[in-house]
Structure 1
């Protein structure tokens, strides 16, 4: 559902003590950021909170009111500290119970007698939520209002994102162009680039140094949603680089 000209925004809330302690390294933020950018949704904020109900509820309510969508990852498994679903229900002020739709989906993987209390925890869904398919381990995610609740396990999260993405409003996609600063150190072009950025307010301009085998390499990336504005800025950046190179060329 493309809504051209409209900015669709999002936040990500990563839930789990194991991320904050460093025991688990987050592999989802970068993936979600790239995925959303590709479909025209601007990721504006990322927060990480522990498995503490009050903190999750407060973060959910703060973020869902400020952005078009809030994506959460983590805390929807079978153990006692998986409290995300309960926290979402509390944030919205709705009930939560074992959802027969979720049970039926899980019966594709488990026999009914194997759906012990721990597994049935994963079928508890807040009232009014739509399910998000999980083709890998079956226990579903869900979407309630503008909040999309996904697993923390990366391949399951990715599958859930694929399932839910078709239901989301999307905006104009971001276009990016990269200009190689061709051996110029950042200090040589920083001031000029800053002036250029002030003139081209319809785009964002960033400078990204990277270290490669041959030494440092600086790249300037111009991003925007309007092709014309983008090309004007890219052309000026290119001219600036060429001018600075000519100034530093040996006589």
Structure 2
């Protein structure tokens, strides 16, 4: 690949005491990571913070200054500890109130006015200046403010919101990858593999040990945006492994 490109980067901010306590398993990050990889967006960081306003504000401001996009999950529901929307407003220094557009979305689901109570109306509190992210499952929207995408914590709802956001994102050059089974222990190939890496700086080479029915083994994963460089590095890895077996 000869033409320069500008990398598109991202971070994920997972919000919720239930994740930190182990009560809820975070599956959203893996889904977002896979989705972004398919768009050529480099996921650089994942953070998990508690339902604490100061912690959320600090993390949001640090991440949005560093990366092209920030994706948050969790904390935009109807309960007292769902404080993400307020924290995002504070991070950006803007006000927050019930958004008529969000209220209208909720009314599509809660047709009986009695059902749209004070708690559920909390999900219509949106920071000033934000764009809404439609939610086809429960109607309660997420929102976008600046480069921060604020989405639900429930996996099915988060995925629906990500499908809405995805087509609007700036994309990068998709990374190609190749996986080579070493049929060798990681420690036995560490030094020659390091030599291959030095000779092919444009290709990221990862070493991933595992155990199967034959014992210890290693998968080598090569990743690059340059297809020719990737192929050359893969040939070098295979040659190195072949030489070690002689």
Deviation at 1:245, TM superposition (A): 1.5
Q: How many residues align?
A: 242
Q: Give the corresponding residue for 2:50.
A: 50
Kindly indicate whether the alpha-carbon contact (under 8 Å) linking 2:89 and 2:127 is maintained by their aligned counterparts in 1: yes
Q: Is this contact kept in 2: 1:184–1:245, CA < 8 A?
A: no
Counterparts of 1:113 and 1:100, CA distance in 2? 18
Query: Residue deviations 1:76-134, cap 9 Å, x none?
Result: 00000000000001100111111111111111211233110100000111111111111
Cross-structure match for 1:168: 169
1:129 maps to 2:123:
no
- Distance across 2 between alignment mates of 1:106 and 1:45: 33
Instruction: Please report how far the alpha carbon of residue 218 of structure 1 lies from its aligned counterpart in structure 2 after TM superposition.
Output: 1.3
**2:15 aligns to what?**
15
TM normalised by structure 2 equals 0.96
Per the TM alignment, residue 238 of structure 1 is displaced from its structure 2 partner at its CA by 0.8
Q: Which residue of 2 aligns with 1:249?
A: none
1:38 is displaced (CA, Å) by 1.0
State whether structure 2 residue 214 is matched by structure 1 residue 214.
yes
**Retained in 1: the 8 A contact 2:186–2:217?**
no
Shift of 1:214: 3.4
CA apart distance, 1:30: 1.2
State the match for 1:118 in structure 2.
119
Write the distance in 1 (CA, Å) between the matches of 2:178 and 2:245. Answer: 20
- Structure 1: distance between partners of 2:49 and 2:202: 34
Residue-by-residue CA offset, 1:193-229 (whole Å, 9 max, x unaligned): 0111122111100111122233333110000101111
> What aligned pairs does 1:33-182 form with structure 2 within 5 A after superposition?
33-111=33-111, 112-181=113-182
Instruction: Indicate conservation of the 8 Å contact 1:76/1:122, yes or no.
Output: yes
Asked if 2 retains the 8 angstrom alpha-carbon contact of 1:9 and 1:43, the reply is yes
What TM-score, normalized by structure 1, do the two folds share? Answer: 0.94
1:119-151 CA distance string (max 9 Å, x none): 000011111111111111110101111000000
Q: Secondary structure at the match of 1:169?
A: coil
Contact 2:13 2:46 in 1 (8 A): yes
Flag structure 2 segments of 5+ consecutive residues without an equivalent: none
3-state DSSP of counterpart to 1:22 = coil
Q: Is the 8 A contact 2:184 2:216 kept in 1?
A: no
Local SS of the residue matching 2:79: coil
- Give distance in 1, aligned partners of 2:210 and 2:33: 21
